[in-house]
Structure 1
Amino acid sequence: MTLGPLDFGILWPALVAGLLVLVTHVPLGAQVLDRGIVFIDLAIAQIAALGVIAADAIGLPEHGLAVQAAAVGAALLGAALLTWTERRVARYQEALIGVLFVLAACAGILLLAHNPRGGEHLKDLLAGQILWVGPRQLLVLGAVTAVLALALALGWTRRLGAFGFYGAFAVAVTASVQLVGVYLVFTSLIVPALATLRWEGRKRLALAYGVGALGYAVGLALSALWDLPSGPTIVCVLAILALVLSLKPQRA
């Protein structure tokens, strides 16, 4: 079905992918702000992306199970390292997260240095290819999201302490970064949570989900209408919606 430049056959899978990402990233975003480690998602996402790049560098089939295992393994190693640093040098955890992000990003660039498609591959991992999400990818993301959402709702991650928190990030990010990219993963985590800081409880959660869902829907529509890259367009729309909501007077 099409309406002018809006091809709903392409847009609806992309929107579903975005909504699935929001299911886990919105509640995790609130925890990130509470802990004061805002860049954790960027670091874990970049480590997962490094796993994908490394798998590609040794010739593993693109989007295959081996690549997914490499991404999950890299992200979990990053989660384990951050768990260790939190226990021993918690005072400098935010700085160490930043260093880890830069190291993972630079390692990825070095691995792609002699790849003729390196620049394009790096761009795809950062900005994402949300418009090309397929049914199989949605099923995998949906299954991972259902398990993580249940674990978060039942408090299973809290029982594992710091590693439960970082491990949940590792799995959530790995499932989403190859579909929507590092930028959208970070924005989906931080922006809705940041926009709703003045609210609490279920109202805050509902508003955060609303901002996220509207941002994805409007961003995808605008990117199709104006022939713009979808990921960056959604990021900008989410930021604008969050700014509007944060400036809106709060009713008593």
Structure 2
Amino acid sequence: MTEDVVELDRVVKRFGSITALDTVTLGFARGTFTAVMGPSGSGKSTLLQAAAGLERPTAGAVRVAGTDLGSLSETRLTLLRREKIGFVFQAFNLLSSLSAEQNVALPLRLAGRRPARREVRAVLAAVGLADRARHRPAELSGGQQQRVAIARAIITRPDVLFADEPTGALDSRTGREVLALLRSMVERQGQTIVMVTHDPFAAAHADRVVFLADGRVAGEMAAPTPQAVAERMTGLEAAEVPR
């Protein structure tokens, strides 16, 4: 049986009187690609942030690579995130004053390591940007910037890569290229990826889709197709009851 790299055990997350996650239990197996979908306000981003240790749950437990995040101090949690977790955002979040290779090397520098240029160049080559190492973000297309962001997220060889709407700011062709890159990382390198998306086409690149509604798991789908995902989402949105 494939081990779960990330485990959520009866996780509850409240923000004041709002329950964003309601007793969520999920596992994400090593070397798999999972998409998380749901109507607006269903808890998708909160799930990602709790699983990545960016939000501490109100109740329940989150484990990454066997470590209970709730048992860690803020300092140790920060160190674990640097070593075991990669995160890719919709908005890229690159530093405009740094070149592509400097942006990619940043997590290693923050961890007190002196990055080897060949190591950084190898990761850039892996995302198809071997010839863009010295370019700054303003000199790159949106798709290239997202590839730099992905390279930055995987330079530490994390156990899991979280992606929050990674194609949301890209045109459809560039989005397909980024999704194909993520898919290849799973198949060729055994990377574990958990991606929040609203796009059925993007979700169809995953091995499975987890659906959320009102902060709860509302079902799963293996071997998803865009049409099947869209139909499930239509049903969830039609059944959604305002809180």
TM-score (norm 2): 0.26
Bigger relative contact order (CA 8 A; separation at least 6): 1
The structure carrying a bigger helix percent of its residues is 1
The structure carrying a bigger strand percent of its residues is 2
